[in-house]
Chains A and B, each alone.
Chain A
Amino acid sequence: MNAIARFFAMGGYAAFVWPAYGLAVAVLGGLALYSWRRYRASQRALAEIERHRRR
């Protein structure tokens, strides 16, 4: 327990270290998520158009 608390305290720099990591995860992860969702949407739209054309 003590070791975990010490890890999260980051030697007193917790208020700087964790926001830095959190921000990196949020920004890069957010971009990845947005890019992925837009990719799926583009695939769905394309499949829809090609289904219509085949009829």
Chain B
Amino acid sequence: MNERRRRIPDPARGCDRDAADGRPSLRYKKRFGEGGFRRAMLSRFANPARFMRLSAVLLPWCAGLSAAIIALGLYLALFVAPADYQQGEAVRIMYVHVPAAWMALLVYLFVAVASAAALVWRHPLADIAARAAAPIGAAFTFVCLASGSLWGRPMWGTWWVWDARLTSVLVLFFLYLGYIALVNAFDNPDRGGRAGSVLALVGVINLPIIKFSVDWWNTLHQPASVLRFGGPTIAWPMLAPLLVMAAGFGGLFVTLLLLRMRTALNEKKALALRLGGAAAPARASRRPAMSPAAGR
């Protein structure tokens, strides 16, 4: 048995098993050399080196753009948007609260999709992306809960009620915290990543519960007024600042995601270099740990 065939049963290599389920690998091997289909896909979409190059260019633009959009959003929210005829100036809390709530849900969805990619395809950047995104989502969820509490006190007369919307968002916050704790709880980062991915995927059930909680149960929280069938019921002078702030928060998420993923890849590379081996960084980030057959 030569070196190449001995690696065939390695489950971590997926499509690389050229002799066993041959065709894709043979075809891609001509174009991409040893490593076949899987390496072709990796180098195209998930090469950490390529990510580092691309994100280095994107990062300053994302940061500048989202800072500018948030500044514009704050100006619109605090100076331009009108006071509400019932809530007065307190309605300005909405421009922080609602975009933060949207981002809380969206970032969780991102973590779940990245977790699925990490579990199913062992996409080398997926686990890093999920880990990098989770604290950002937790921060947005906290901002949503805190600003909602500060809005509830003058409008509902209470800081908190245990109704469906508020409780389900609190559960979302705990899901984030649980995910962060779980992925860091294992000595082997691979095992932590898998456990966290399963938790993130199970937690997806909470997203529709949050979204439709205001329709399914009686709650103090108002029903949806922007993302609803039949279009928004909110007036344009209030909708515009809301959308600008949402875009700014979205930009902030992308900026922090890139920054935190770059940090993780730097730390991974530093660890691999410290453990020795010139070729270590590329291999280590592509196939972290466990390759039982290849090592023997």
- Contact residues of A with B, CB < 8 Å? 10-13, 16-17, 19-21, 23-24, 27-28, 31-32, 35-36, 38-39, 42-43, 45-46, 49-50, 53
Contact = CB atoms under 8 A, between A and B. Distances in A.
B202 to A, nearest CB: 25
Interface in B30-78: 74, 78
B147 A23 contact: yes
B201 interface: no
B136 A31 contact: yes
Contacts of A27: 139, 142-143, 146
B89 A17 contact: yes
B90 A45 contact: no
Given A17-B89, A31-B139, 18 more contacts: A11-B89, A11-B90, A12-B88, A13-B154, A17-B150, A20-B96, A23-B146, A24-B147, A27-B142, A31-B136, A31-B256, A32-B255, A35-B260, A42-B266, A45-B267, A46-B269, A49-B270, A49-B273
Residue among B78, B89, B262, B269 with the highest chain A CB neighbour number at 10 A: B89
Interface string B270-293: 100110000000000000000000
Main secondary structure of the interface of A (DSSP, over half): helix
B135 A31 contact: yes
A17 B259 contact: no
A21 B77 CA distance: 11
Main secondary structure of the interface of B (DSSP, over half): helix
A32 B89 contact: no
A21 B270 contact: no
A46 B52 CA distance: 14
B241 to A, nearest CB: 13
B96 A24 contact: yes
Contacts of B177: none
A46 B136 contact: no
B153 interface: yes
Nearest to A39: B263
B135 A39 contact: no
A49 B274 contact: yes
Contacts of A28: 139-140, 143, 252
B97 interface: yes
A16 B154 CA distance: 8
A6 B252 CA distance: 31
B109 interface: no
B270 A46 contact: yes
Contacts of B252: 28, 32
